[in-house]
Amino acid sequence: MPLPKQITLQVDDVYKRVPTLLDIVFLNGTINYFSEKEELFFSQFELLDLVCCQSYLRRSSDFKSSLPEEMSYCFRLIYKAMLMPKYIWVIELTKKDLVSSSLSKKRKIIGEILIDSTADRNDTGSRSYLVIHLNGRMVVRKPPNFLSLHYDLDEKPYSQPVLGTNYSGN
């Protein structure tokens, strides 16, 4: 299916960024900047068995209106208040043991990465992501270089957002 003409990142560009984004935000200590509370840090253990279970291009307004009720109320509010480009790439993250069925209604996810669909194709990822949400923590990037951390450590795995029309997915 052809993509809207303002989209600069293709699905392959998005997949190439995921390892870099996880490395930048979680393993290189960006989170350490925010808090001294140990439970707020991401550990390498949390990245074991991490699976990208689905990726798709979506209108940001559709993404916001389809957020599952099981997602943290705080995170849903943050998403709904965010300024986003018209289209965003969504990469849903889960653990291998949570992928219990090929039926998406039974699948549970533990977070997602949102990527700006109009980002520079030459950027390796550090300036293309909008949000990284994983295991009750959310890192929001606000251009040019401002990061904010939000957390709800009681968040449990939640259902995937209800999908309408998407431009690409796995």
Q: What is the pTM assigned to this prediction?
A: 0.83
**pLDDT tens, the chain, 170 aa long:** 677 788 988 888 888 888 877 776 555 444 444 445 545 556 566 666 778 878 899 999 999 999 999 999 999 999 999 999 999 999 999 888 777 555 545 678 999 999 999 888 887 667 788 998 988 888 888 876 777 888 888 889 998 877 665 554 44
Burial class of 64 by CB neighbour count within 10 A (0 to 12, 13 to 18, 19+): middle
H-helix or E-strand spanning residue 157: none
Cα 41 off chain centre by: 17
Alpha-carbon gap, residue 49 to 155, rounded angstroms: 19
57: nearest Cα among 123, 99, 8: 8
